[in-house]
Amino acid sequence: MLATGQAQNSCSPQLREHVLSKMASDDITAVARSDDTILIYGSALLEKRGRDKGNEVSQNMRVLARVVIEARELCGDNNATLSSSIAPKNFDMLLKCAKNLGGFIETEDGTKQYKSPSTSIKCGYALKKAALILRGQSLRDADMEGKKEVDMFLELYDSEWGGKITTPALGNLSTKKHNSPNLLPITNDLVALRKYLIEKILALTTQVSTNATRENFRELSEVSLARLIMFNKRRGGEAARMKINSFMSRPVWRDHHNEEIIGSLSSAEKQLCNRFDMVEIVGKRNRKVPVIITPDLKSALEVLTMKTTREKANVCEENQYVFPVNDGKSKYSLRGNDVLRHVCAKVKLENASAITSTNMENMSPLFPS
């Protein structure tokens, strides 16, 4: 359906820059980079989701590459590609690929179990999207035979994939979540971490504002991001991707208040309105997400967003994030969960592994922030 090398022309420059150049060098990546259909799939996915989701695009491309590798082993053809595998005659083989990659086993009593159910689920979603891409390519080329092949594959997919892969895998995933304990952070750990972060933010804000270096800027970025995640109990990725223009253009909410609402607030609530700032950022599914900025964080973020400070700290001029990777060339932000782990490792905590952005989302607002 796709001529060899055809997709290299369809592989967007954005995919090369933001995804392919950052993928791990292994056999899976080698297949992803050389398979025409996977490259077109990656380009389409990146265009849809944006370069901020480059890591997610990479993961999806690697899932399809693993399917190709598994298909080659099952059919004994080392030259098999994704486009040659997506055919009605290969549907059962692809079912087996998804099961194998998810670690599928069937017990003596007939129970279907997956070691990694999410992998099998991702295989299905990615394969269907790849099939739709192949159908679109066949239509562009007026290849009715190719379109007929893909249509028959999609008909099989719609009628059988859910019952054989998706439904049992989702059932396994739900069971695993129900049977795993949800360990929330210990209050004493949160108190100790909060104290450490506030002290470091105050000290580092002064250091960076007077003599910014790559090291102290990075440390201030990390403790500030950790404090922001901890206080707002937001997803790590959402807070980490706050952009400079969002922070700089934040409205002064106390100057745009509703008199009736203000009048209904207690004196304590009015004090909070005057003390804190709020920035609206883009969250999951492009929803508007409010992020509260505490007074200590406000000073730190103002330092982190100063142009002269960022130049001294080796931040790429094109990097638009408040919490940048300051290696001189990266246009990406720090990773929230990585930062939390790094910061927790510096504090003596009883159970540091429980302090994650996901766990803090599930916490009561009464927990220390």
In a domain, 286, yes or no: yes
Q: List Cβ neighbours of 171 (8 Å cut-off, separation of 6 or more).
A: none
Q: What's the pLDDT band for 259 if we cut at 50, 70, 90? A: low
Q: Above 80 in pLDDT, residue 274? A: no
Check whether residue 117 and residue 199 sit in a common domain: no
In a domain, 369, yes or no: no
In a domain, 366, yes or no: no
Tell me the average pLDDT across 27-54: 92
Tell me the average pLDDT across 296-323: 95
Check whether residue 207 and residue 341 sit in a common domain: yes
Check whether residue 312 and residue 173 sit in a common domain: no
Check whether residue 255 and residue 130 sit in a common domain: no
Query: Cα 337 vs. chain centroid, distance in angstroms?
Result: 10
Q: Above 60 in pLDDT, residue 65? A: yes
Check whether residue 127 and residue 261 sit in a common domain: no
Per the prediction, the chain carries an average pLDDT of: 87
Measure Cα distances from 20 to 14, 53, 96, 149, 359 in Å: 9, 13, 28, 30, 32
Query: Cα 210 vs. chain centroid, distance in angstroms?
Result: 35
Q: Above 80 in pLDDT, residue 216? A: yes
User: Out of 12-21, 61-70, 147-156, which region has the weakest mean confidence (pLDDT)?
Assistant: 12-21
Give the chain's domain count: 2
Quick one: pLDDT at residue 269?
A: 58
Looking at 141-166, list the stretches that DSSP marks H as alpha helix, in order from N- to C-terminal side.
Answer: 144-156
* SS3 labels along 191-207: HHHHHHHHHHHHHHHHH
Domain boundary, last residue among 130, 161, 179: 179
Quick one: pLDDT at residue 322?
A: 96
Domain boundary, last residue among 142, 157, 179: 179
Check whether residue 22 and residue 124 sit in a common domain: yes
Check whether residue 312 and residue 203 sit in a common domain: yes
Check whether residue 258 and residue 227 sit in a common domain: yes
Quick one: pLDDT at residue 110?
A: 76
Check whether residue 152 and residue 253 sit in a common domain: no
Tell me the average pLDDT across 232-236: 79
Higher pLDDT, 98 or 292: 98
In a domain, 11, yes or no: yes
Quick one: pLDDT at residue 276?
A: 81
Domain boundary, last residue among 133, 153, 179: 179
At 255, which CATH number?
1.10.443
Check whether residue 234 and residue 174 sit in a common domain: no
Check whether residue 231 and residue 193 sit in a common domain: yes
The rounded percent of the chain whose pLDDT value lies above 70 is 88
Tell me the average pLDDT across 354-362: 78
8 A C-beta contact, residue 86 and residue 153: yes
In a domain, 368, yes or no: no
Q: Above 70 in pLDDT, residue 369? A: no
pLDDT, tens digit (0-9, with 9 covering 90-100), for 144-179: 999 999 999 999 999 999 999 999 999 988 887 766
Tell me the average pLDDT across 278-304: 85
Range of the domain at 67: 6-179
Q: How far apart are CA 252 and CA 242, in angstroms?
A: 18
Residue 278 bridge partners (DSSP):
292
Tell me the average pLDDT across 343-349: 93
pLDDT, tens digit (0-9, with 9 covering 90-100), for 74-127: 999 999 999 999 999 999 999 999 999 999 998 878 777 899 999 999 999 999
Quick one: pLDDT at residue 4?
A: 41
Check whether residue 321 and residue 218 sit in a common domain: yes
In a domain, 241, yes or no: yes
In a domain, 251, yes or no: yes
Helix (H) or strand (E) holding 104: strand 104-106
pLDDT, tens digit (0-9, with 9 covering 90-100), for 171-202: 988 887 766 666 778 889 999 999 999 999 99
Q: Above 70 in pLDDT, residue 332? A: yes
Quick one: pLDDT at residue 148?
A: 96
